[in-house]
Amino acid sequence: MVNIINELSNDAEVLSYFADMELGLTGDCLRPFHSARLQQFQNLAPEISYQFSYQ
């Protein structure tokens, strides 16, 4: 996953779409491993990850 985020980091639109697929809600539930994936995005693409921090 880290390699994918790094590869997509040059294209903000594609990275945002990928983050939505990985971190977005499915119905009213979070995807499996949401917290771990969110942490990877926070470390590598903080400008994208804040959109998916559900409180």
2-12 pLDDT per residue, tens: 888 888 888 88
Q: Is the pLDDT of residue 55 over 50?
A: no
When divided into structural domains, the chain yields a total of: 1
54 versus 50: the higher-pLDDT residue is 50
Burial of 50 (0-12, 13-18, 19+ CB in 10 A): exposed
CA–CA separation, 26 and 11 (whole Å): 24
Tokens representing 54 are: 């559900």
Predicted TM-score of the model (pTM) = 0.74
pLDDT at 44: 84
> How far apart (Å, rounded) are the C-alpha atoms in residues 29 and 33?
12
* The pLDDT value given to residue 43: 86
Which domain range does residue 15 map to?
2-52
Q: How big is the chain by its Cα radius of gyration, in Å?
A: 10
